Amino acid sequence: MASRLVLVIGDLFIPDRAPDIPAKFKKLLTPGKIGQIICLGNLTDRETYEYLRTIAPDLQLVKGDFDTENPYSANTVNTTTTNPSSAAAAASSSATASSSSVPLSKVITHGSLRIGFTHGHTIIPHGDADALLIAARQMDVDVLLWGGTHRFEAYELEGKFFVNPGSGTGAVGTGWGWGGMMLWGEKGEEEGPRRRRRSPRLVFV
C-alpha cells in the first residue's frame, strides 16, 4: 500500500540563507516512506527541488515571496524532437510558463478532507488568525497550511485546523527563530459538522 504520510515543508532558502536541509531532518526523509510533499514556498533552487522529488514524486508546490522564477519545470521540454526550431520554441514556451506556472495557493484533498496551502505573504496582516480564517473560508478548506514567518504554529479555530511548520532549514535573516517540518498522516474517521472526514495525525520535527 502506498504511504499516506505527507511531508509539509517550506521557507528553505538554499543556498542563500542556509547551506542545506539539516542532517537530522534528512535522516527522516526516506524514499518510499513519504507519499506526498507539500512545499509552502521559498524553495528557491532546482537542486533542492530535485532532491525532494527523490523522496516523493508527488510534490505539490506554491510560490513564495522569494520564488521570483520557477526553474523546476525545465525538464518538461522534449529534447528528443528532430526539429531545432520546434525545440527552441518549446524551450522558449517553457521558460515563459515557468515564471508563472506555480500558483500562490492551492487546494488538495485527502479523502473528504480539504487541505489548502499558501506561502502566506499575500495574507495581511501576516500570520493574523482572523485573516487566516478568512482565507480558509474563501478556499473552503478544513485545514490551512501557511509559511512565511519561520515560526512553528498549530491551532484550531472555528472547526478548522491551522498549521505553520516554520522554516525547513532554520533559515536565518528574519529574527523569528528556528522552524522545522511536519509529517502528516491519518488516524481514522471522525464526524465533522460539515462532512464525515478523516482526522489528521501530525508529527512535528
Distance CA(145)–CA(185), nearest Å, equals 15
Grid cell locating 170: 532554520
User: Do 67 and 39 touch, CB atoms closer than 8 A?
Assistant: no
The two beta strands, 153-157 and 160-164, are antiparallel
Q: Has residue 175 got a pLDDT over 70? A: no
DSSP 3-state assignment of 190?
Answer: strand
Domain residue extents for the chain: 6-67+102-204
Considering the entire predicted model, what is its pTM?
0.74
Tens digit of each residue's pLDDT (9 = 90 or more) over 3-29: 678 999 999 988 888 889 988 888 888
* Least confidently predicted of 43-47, 98-102, 125-129, 160-164: 98-102
Distance CA(205)–CA(203), nearest Å, equals 7
Q: Give the architecture (CATH level 2) of 6-67+102-204.
A: 4-Layer Sandwich (3.60)
